[in-house]
Chain A
Amino acid sequence: MNKRKKIREKLSFASAALLQMTSASATETPDETWDMSSAILFYNESDGRVSAIEPVISGTKELKNGDIINLKAVFDSLTGATPTGAHASSTDQTFTNPSGKKSYTVTAGELPLDDTFLDTRVALSGSWNSAVFDNYSRLILSGNLSKEFDYSSLGVSANFLRDFNNRNTTFNAALGLSSDSIEPSGGIPTAFANMKVAGTGTNRDATDDSKTITDFIFGVTQVINRSTLMQFNLGVSESSGYLTDPYKIITLIDPVNGLPIATSGDDLPYLYENRPDSRSRQTFFWKTVHHLNEDIINISYRYHTDDWGIDSHTIDFHYRYELGNGSYLQPHLRYYSQNAADFFTTSLADGQALPEFASADYRLGDFITSTIGIKYATPAGKNSEFSVRAEIISQTQNEVNTPVGDQANHDLTPDLDSFIIQLGYDFYFEQ
């Protein structure tokens, strides 16, 4: 039996598939092998926005006692420009860098982008998967650490799986805790304070802040028949702390002509956004994997709702088309739609009372994301596999607010196209 495949079969536990384990494979003596997966992802957005290169390496080993360990490292290098929340206008617009010391000007009609965007991220994670109580239960303990120059995240999780019904049903309960801290360039901006002209002050409250996230999932995986597996998950997530994006601003406009308006000499016509300090989300997730004669369909649906007023629907579809000799082609389609957060706004009007919360971050807006992609994988020698994947991601934004004056002359919520290429190489080696 192919050793790499054998470990992978057992690893299916991680996605609630205790039921995939046969008694024969459970009693085999494990080999001292590392099952390695590696990939490099190239991500590019249209119009000179974000570019990213992301190498990943992951190693999995089955110990002599049947426990399975996994270690993973991800590096993320980002460059380019990202929207600030300010919208295009018929006047040139000048912004101050987060440091408060330098400024940059965006030509009239152009979408304001912060081109100082540059970041590197390193993420390390590990998990330990072991049998508990008896041969029908497993516990997976995981930890992860992610570090950027202005952000760090530390998370732990526990996932308990229990088989029933002759291993045809698996219950899964998982708890995850994450503690994140942010130390943005220039500090934490004062909510709804003006961005200041470079060199005249920064309107900052503190140097850093933090948030915590608690996730809970309860799920069932069921063998429907000899060729079909189905999974249902209910998830609850609670976030609290600093949930605002310190780099995002909102254009302050004249309520009549719609042009940006500064209220005093040292102020720029942009206010720092302000989000609630808590967020409760609920998700329902359904997935079915079905084996046809040769090919495999993997389809899922997710419903997400939260107390920020965001509801979303995600449908994901993979079709694995077997080419023979271990090679396959895998088309991928994904459709995602969300409505805007209650406090999402394109701009704020001068002279009107400020809302309790507001953000112009396009990711909290009303939009649809469509993804189309394809993957090709083929064996590359003994016990290794090479793959290449390409995807196009198109985000179509819908207007949320009625344009005021000059705003009608511009695309306030521009669409976004992204393109990814991923090269992958999986292999195993014996110690």
Chain B
Amino acid sequence: MYKLILILNLFLLSACTTVQPWDKDLLAKPSMALVPSEIDNALDEHIYFSKEASMGGQGVGGGGCGCN
């Protein structure tokens, strides 16, 4: 499984073009952040952590709780 994912990633990354700093106007917008709203994301993660058996993937830590 992981080998397949790795190969897929390398394939995708090899298709990338080098974007110069002066062409990063769109990428630099706050709305283009991977997590545009940290608060929305943290509240959602907390809800799903307390109602489902999976967690993590995006980052580490985040504060444990007795809800699960």
Which residues from chain A sit less than 8 Å from chain B, CB to CB?
Answer: 5, 8-9, 11-12, 14-17, 19-23, 25, 37-39, 41, 43, 54, 56, 58, 72, 74, 76, 119, 121, 123, 125, 142, 144-146, 148, 150-151, 153, 155-157, 159, 165-169, 174-176, 178, 180, 182, 213, 215-217, 220-227, 229-235, 237, 245, 281, 283-285, 287, 289, 291, 296, 298, 302, 304, 308, 310, 312, 314, 320, 328, 336, 338, 341, 363-364, 369, 375, 389, 393, 395, 416, 418, 420, 422, 424
Contact residues in B for A304 (Cβ distance below 8 Å) = 54-57
CB < 8 Å: which of A20, A221, A422 contacts B43?
A: A422
Contact residues in B for A418 (Cβ distance below 8 Å) = 47, 51
Docked Cα-Cα span, A76 to B46, in Å, equals 11
Min Cβ gap B39→A in Å is: 5
Docked Cα-Cα span, A304 to B42, in Å, equals 19
B27 to A166, Cβ gap below 8 A? no
Contact residues in A for B21 (Cβ distance below 8 Å) = 22-23, 166-167
Query: Which positions 16-35 of chain B face chain A at CB distance < 8 Å?
Result: 16-21, 23-24, 26-35
Contact residues in A for B47 (Cβ distance below 8 Å) = 43, 393, 418, 420
Docked Cα-Cα span, A230 to B12, in Å, equals 10
A contact patch SS: strand
CB < 8 Å: which of B53, B55, B60, B62 contacts A364?
A: B53
B57 to A283, Cβ gap below 8 A? yes
A215 to B56, Cβ gap below 8 A? yes
Docked Cα-Cα span, A296 to B29, in Å, equals 11
Contact residues in B for A420 (Cβ distance below 8 Å) = 47
B contact patch SS: loop
Min Cβ gap B21→A in Å is: 5
B43 to A56, Cβ gap below 8 A? yes
B59 to A291, Cβ gap below 8 A? no
A363 to B52, Cβ gap below 8 A? yes
A175 to B60, Cβ gap below 8 A? yes
CB < 8 Å: which of A21, A123, A363 contacts B51?
A: A363
A39 to B43, Cβ gap below 8 A? yes
Docked Cα-Cα span, A354 to B48, in Å, equals 31
A182 to B54, Cβ gap below 8 A? no
Contact residues in A for B24 (Cβ distance below 8 Å) = 19-20, 22, 223, 226
CB < 8 Å: which of A176, A224, A389 contacts B60?
A: A176
B30 to A146, Cβ gap below 8 A? no
Contact residues in B for A341 (Cβ distance below 8 Å) = 53
Closest-by-CB residue of B relative to A377 is B37
A20 to B64, Cβ gap below 8 A? no
A213 to B64, Cβ gap below 8 A? yes
Task: From known contacts A9-B30, A178-B61, A223-B27, infer whether A39 and B13 are also in contact, taking CB-CB under 8 Å.
Answer: no
A12 to B33, Cβ gap below 8 A? yes
Contact residues in B for A182 (Cβ distance below 8 Å) = 66
CB < 8 Å: which of B1, B5, B19 contacts A223?
A: B19
A157 to B60, Cβ gap below 8 A? yes
B57 to A41, Cβ gap below 8 A? no
Docked Cα-Cα span, A81 to B6, in Å, equals 45
Min Cβ gap B19→A in Å is: 5
Is there a chain A Cβ closer than 8 Å to B65's Cβ?
yes
B65 to A222, Cβ gap below 8 A? no
Min Cβ gap B24→A in Å is: 6
Contact residues in A for B2 (Cβ distance below 8 Å) = 234, 284
Docked Cα-Cα span, A232 to B16, in Å, equals 14
15 contacts between A and B (CB under 8 A): A25-B28, A121-B66, A155-B64, A167-B21, A178-B64, A223-B27, A227-B26, A234-B5, A283-B57, A289-B34, A296-B32, A308-B53, A336-B54, A369-B52, A422-B43
Min Cβ gap B8→A in Å is: 9
Task: From known contacts A283-B57, A320-B31, A395-B51, infer whether A220 and B13 are also in contact, taking CB-CB under 8 Å.
Answer: yes
CB < 8 Å: which of B9, B29, B32, B68 contacts A232?
A: B9
B64 to A180, Cβ gap below 8 A? yes
A56 to B48, Cβ gap below 8 A? no
Min Cβ gap A195→B in Å is: 20
Contact residues in A for B40 (Cβ distance below 8 Å) = 39, 375, 389, 422, 424
Closest-by-CB residue of B relative to A52 is B47
Closest-by-CB residue of B relative to A144 is B63
CB < 8 Å: which of A8, A176, A224 contacts B33?
A: A8
Docked Cα-Cα span, A220 to B41, in Å, equals 20
B16 to A225, Cβ gap below 8 A? yes
B65 to A146, Cβ gap below 8 A? yes
